[in-house]
Amino acid sequence: MDKHNLSYDIIVAGAGNAALCAAISAREAGCRVLVLEKAPFQKRGGNSYFTDGAIRFAFNGLDDIRKIVSLSEEEADAIEMPAYSEMKYYNDLMRVTENQSDPVLAKQLTRQSYPTIAWMHKHGISFQLNYDNQSFKKNGKHHFWGGLPVKTENIGVGLIKKLNERASDLGIDIWYEARAIRINKKNNQVSSVDVEKKDGRHVIPASSVVLACGGFEANQKMRTRHIGPEWEAAIVRGTEFNTGDGLSMALEAGAAPYGDWSGCHSIGTDYNAPKVGDFTKPGDIFKKHSYPLGIMVNQYGVRFVDEGADFRNYTYAKYGREILKQPNAMAFQIFDMQVRPLLREEYDKKEATSFTADSLEKLADKLPVDKKAFLDTMNEFNHAVEDGSFFPNEKDGKKTKGIKPPKSNWALRIEQGPFYAFPVTCGITFSFGGVKAGPNGEVLSADNEPIYGLFAAGEMIGGIFYENYPGGSGLMSGAVFGRLAGASAAEYVESLKNNT
Shared domain check, 454 and 390: no
3-state SS class at 98: coil
> Residues with Cβ < 8 Å from 14, sequence gap 6 or more?
35, 36, 37, 46, 211, 212, 213, 214, 246, 458
What DSSP element (H or E) covers 361?
A: helix 360-366
Domain boundary among 380, 404, 427: 427
Question: Quick check: is 240 in a domain?
Answer: no
Tell me if 449 is assigned to some domain.
Answer: yes
- Alpha-carbon distance of 211 to 417, in angstroms, equals 52
Does a structural domain hold residue 303? yes
Written as one letter, the residue type at 110 is: T
pTM: 0.93
CA 179/CA 40 separation, integer angstroms: 11
Amino acid at 393: N
Separation between Cα atoms, residue 84 and residue 303, nearest integer Å:
34
Residue-wise DSSP of 114-156: HHHHHHHHHTT--EEE-HHHHEEEETTEEEE-TT--EEETTHH
Q: Same domain, yes or no, for 467 and 336?
A: no
Task: Write the single-letter amino acid at 359.
Answer: S
| DSSP code, position 468 | B
Q: What is the mean pLDDT of residues 197-220?
A: 97
- Does residue 440 share a domain with residue 422? no
pLDDT at 350 over 90: yes
| Number of folded domains that form the chain | 2
Task: Answer yes or no: is 250 within a domain.
Answer: no
At 194, the amino acid letter reads: D
Burial tier of 456 (Cβ tally within 10 Å: 0-12, 13-18, 19+) = buried
247 in any annotated domain: no
Q: Are residues 100 and 203 in the same domain?
A: yes
Of 103, 422, 449, 469, give the one whose Cα is nearest residue 290: 422
| Residue 279 lies in domain | 266-427
- CA 67 – CA 87 distance, rounded (Å): 21
pLDDT of residue 412: 97
Q: Report yes or no on 235 lying in a domain.
A: no
Q: Is residue 243 part of a domain?
A: no
Residues 47-52: what's their mean pLDDT? 95
Let me know whether 21 and 140 are in one domain.
yes
Last residue of a domain, one of 397, 427, 457: 427
Give the pLDDT confidence of 256-281 residue by residue, as tens digits: 999 999 999 999 999 999 999 999 98
List the CATH number of the domain containing 320. 3.90.700.10
CB atoms within 10 A of CB 447: 7
* pLDDT bucket at 2, cuts 50 / 70 / 90: very low
Measuring CA to CA, which residue among 215, 403, 398 is closest to residue 302? 403
- Number of other CB atoms surrounding residue 187 within 10 Å: 6
Structural domain ending residue among the three candidates 376, 398, 427: 427
Mean pLDDT of 49-59: 96
132 and 18 within one domain: yes
52 shares a domain with 174: yes
Average pLDDT over residues 302-330: 95
Residue 304 lies in a domain: yes
Residue 3 has pLDDT above 80, yes or no: no
Nearest Cα residue to 65 out of 5, 168, 148? 148
pLDDT confidence band for 217 (50 / 70 / 90): very high
Instruction: Tell whether 174 and 279 lie within a shared domain.
Output: no
CATH number of the CATH domain containing 485: 3.50.50.60
Cross-strand pairs, 135: 144
Per-residue model confidence as pLDDT tens digits over 118-170: 999 999 999 999 998 888 888 899 999 889 999 999 999 999 999 999 999 99
Residues 297, 162 share a domain: no
Rounded alpha-carbon distances, angstroms, from residue 177 to 35, 41, 278 = 11, 8, 18
Examine the domain organization and report whether 174 and 121 are in the same domain.
yes
Question: DSSP secondary-structure letter at 217?
Answer: T
Residues 77 and 140 grouped into a single domain: yes
85 and 101, same domain (yes or no): yes
